Amino acid sequence: MTPFSLEGRRALVTGANTGIGQAIAISLAAQGAQVTCAGRRDCAQTIAAIRDAGGEAEGLRLDLADPMAGQGVFEGQGYSILVNNAGIIRREDSLDFTEADWDAVMDVNLKALFFTTQAFARAALEGGTTPAAVVNIASLLSFQGGIRVPSYTASKHGVAGLTKILANEWAAKGINVNAIAPGYIATNNTEALRADGARNAAILERIPAGRWGEPHDIGATAAFLCSPAARYIHGAVLNVDGGWLAR
């Protein structure tokens, strides 16, 4: 077994129906993990892709608009990997931003992430499924301010902070907690940006790698962070951005 193998591990990936979450689920399965593809929408496409490649996968409907929806999911189920990918965004000038949009984003992106991770860690420690790994999906806006996305920016700064405090508390207990900050990734969510010639050119001009990222770039990084090869990595927020933040 290689240091990158996830054989014998059970993983849950939130928001696994498409894009980055789908790529993460597929990447974990490719390394041998049994993957639960969780989402508020059906994850049949992801499950089919994993099974067609010879992997093991199942689906779970999980709507994290209820921040406590993850309670009871992990107990006695043998999970040793959690990837918190689910997230939402609301766009509006900060002068006009509503409390409803603030609360909706913070509930899914930060509150649900914390309480889902808490439930996972309790089950892992009580069930003896450590070593275990948590990977949170942060953002370039964990470091930058952005424009017209106040709650998203606040939530992703919070994800970076939670990653560090949970690593501080759980590293010695056998639970690795890290995060990935994706750059500009070619998914359905960025289709409009890529279709805008001027905006697309401006983005590519700043990326040293000279290309948009692919979902697999994030998936492969998540699989690494969940593997024994990353056992001494704790509390890191790893930029997978083609060099964007280095500019």
Domain around 71: 10-238
Q: Catalytic annotation on 232?
A: no
* pLDDT at residue number 190: 87
Do residues 111 and 166 lie in contact, with contact meaning Cβ atoms separated by under 8 Å?
no
Buried b (16+ CB within 10 A) or exposed e, 13-50: bbbbbbbbbbbbbbbbbbbbbbbbbbbbeebeebbebb
Residue with tokens 């049949």: 44
Residue with tokens 């890529």: 194
* pLDDT at residue number 1: 78
* pLDDT at residue number 189: 81
What is the pLDDT tens value at each position of the chain, 247 positions in all?
A: 799 999 999 999 999 999 999 999 999 999 999 999 999 999 999 999 999 999 999 999 999 999 999 999 999 999 999 999 999 999 999 999 999 999 999 999 999 999 999 999 999 999 999 999 999 999 999 999 999 999 999 999 999 999 999 999 999 999 999 999 999 999 988 888 899 999 999 999 999 999 999 999 999 999 999 999 999 999 999 999 999 999 9
4, part of any domain: no
Domain with residue 57: its CATH number is 3.40.50.720
Can you give the three-state secondary structure of 109-157, one letter per residue?
Answer: HHHHHHHHHHHHHHHHHHHCCCCEEEEEECCHHHCCCCCCCHHHHHHHH
* pLDDT at residue number 192: 83
Please, where are the H alpha helices in 31-87? 44-52
- Structural domain count, the chain: 1
Do residues 168 and 117 lie in contact, with contact meaning Cβ atoms separated by under 8 Å?
no
15, part of any domain: yes
* pLDDT at residue number 95: 98
47, part of any domain: yes
* pLDDT at residue number 34: 98
154, part of any domain: yes
244, part of any domain: no
